[in-house]
Amino acid sequence: MSTQRLRNEDYHDYSSTDVSPEESPSEGLNNLSSPGSYQRFGQSNSTTWFQTLIHLLKGNIGTGLLGLPLAVKNAGIVMGPISLLIIGIVAVHCMGILVKCAHHFCRRLNKSFVDYGDTVMYGLESSPCSWLRNHAHWGRRVVDFFLIVTQLGFCCVYFVFLADNFKQVIEAANGTTNNCHNNETVILTPTMDSRLYMLSFLPFLVLLVFIRNLRALSIFSLLANITMLVSLVMIYQFIVQRIPDPSHLPLVAPWKTYPLFFGTAIFSFEGIGMVLPLENKMKDPRKFPLILYLGMVIVTILYISLGCLGYLQFGANIQGSITLNLPNCWLYQSVKLLYSIGIFFTYALQFYVPAEIIIPFFVSRAPEHCELVVDLFVRTVLVCLTCILAILIPRLDLVISLVGSVSSSALALIIPPLLEVTTFYSEGMSPLTIFKDALISILGFVGFVVGTYEALYELIQPSNAPIFINSTRAFI
């Protein structure tokens, strides 16, 4: 059996994930029709501009979106949306930098496609610093490392999200009514600890990740997209009704909670891993910059609107996922279940990226007759690892903030500006561009350090936050 990377898979099967895998075109595209050109036309598996836009939107909408109302609370009702807008602009700019550098190396090296890791490696090879040139291969390894951390972090978030939502639905079942107009407090029927819910999902997710073909996962991707879309429509339908007076909400939150906002925000905007695969699969890649900016404008509007409206609707009672604040009526309980179903199936798609990076390392060292056993064993170990990490950190808001601060900030903010400097410095760069890139990377690094510290500090010494009746955390 041969365990292959994503290089020979079609991208669109993976389109519903928060971050898509690094992917290269099929081997038949290794040669360009003309030197110095990276455009590819008329491929049988190419996507139209509209399909690319849909993939871009789906790839940026996940669990991070549902945590943005709490993120706005951590920043303030005015500072929150302003900061989201700024982070969105910077994140999209960094995506543009990555595309520009990838195109540069495609033309320079006469290649049809380079992925994120290749681009960073070639960028280091172009650096005027001899030490960086000699260690350029570490560029790909660093990108792969952060991709693994990011994707496994998403999987940890999914465990906590599933446990929180299912626990709340089951505990409120006896008090659930058909009246969705009054979000009345109900007495929850105590059930098992949320960490036990995570363990109960473990065997089912292990079986799910045993599906190793992206094409076989495409039906689950479609199901996830439908359930999550319906759920988002129902969430918006509720939060726009009878918004309370916002005068009591702080315009700017205490700065101590702002790092938590940063982690959640960059977690939501970390879609840079799918940019190059999407551009590569377009029939006319020259249109991709326009599609990228259009799609990210829509995503940013969606993020800001849901974050602000959710915080305005629920105020200080907002939780790690806005689904946990929905009324205890059957309509909105079904919304929680629908979104949870979508997240469940998306787990396998998110898991595909680290699996395809890690598993070949072990399979290549196993006897041929044991390759399948080793493959399934490593998958099982990785799923168990994400479950254990989720059990150790069962607070949804902190898991999202921690993953965003640790890995998403590196992929989305720190690496791309440095890549631009190493790629184009020897060809001449304006001091203003160098200053801009340095500023973005420094801000990303500060967010990485402070956000990680604050999330870990909150885990070790949680603040005396009010306990809400519908809270489903494993511990307060």
Per-residue pLDDT tens digits for 222-244: 788 888 888 899 999 999 988 88
Whether pLDDT at 91 is above 90: yes
- Could you tell me which residues come within 8 angstroms of residue 304 by beta carbon, excluding any fewer than 6 positions away? 81, 84, 85
Under 8 Å between Cβ of 243 and 360: no
What is the CA 67 to chain-centroid distance, rounded? Answer: 12
Query: What share of the chain has pLDDT > 70, as a percent?
Result: 83
State residue 29's pLDDT score. Answer: 32
> Does residue 126 surpass a pLDDT of 70?
yes
pLDDT at 258 over 90: yes
Contact indicator for 55, 12 with CB cutoff of 8 Å: yes
Q: pTM here?
A: 0.80
End-to-end CA distance of the chain: 48
Distance between CA atoms of residues 114 and 119, nearest Å: 6
CA distance 357 to 334: 36
Provide the residue ranges of all domains of the chain, joining segments of one domain with +. Answer: 49-459
Asked if the model's pLDDT at residue 37 lies above 50, the reply is no
Residue 124: phi and psi, rounded to 5, are -65, -35
138 pLDDT above the threshold of 60: yes
What distance in Å separates the CA atoms of residue 179 and residue 193, rounded to the nearest whole number?
28
For CA atoms 67, 154, 26, 8, the dihedral sign is negative
Whose tokens are 């139209």? That residue is: 48
**Mean pLDDT of the 134-154 span:** 91
SS3 329: strand
Task: Give counts: helices (H), strands (E), the chain.
Answer: 18, 0
pLDDT at 128: 87
pLDDT of residue 188: 60
Q: Could you give the angle at the alpha carbon of 386 between the alpha carbons of 383 and 390, nearest 5°?
A: 140
Looking at domain 49-459, its CATH superfamily turns out to be Amino acid/polyamine transporter I (1.20.1740.10)
- What pLDDT does residue 199 have? 94
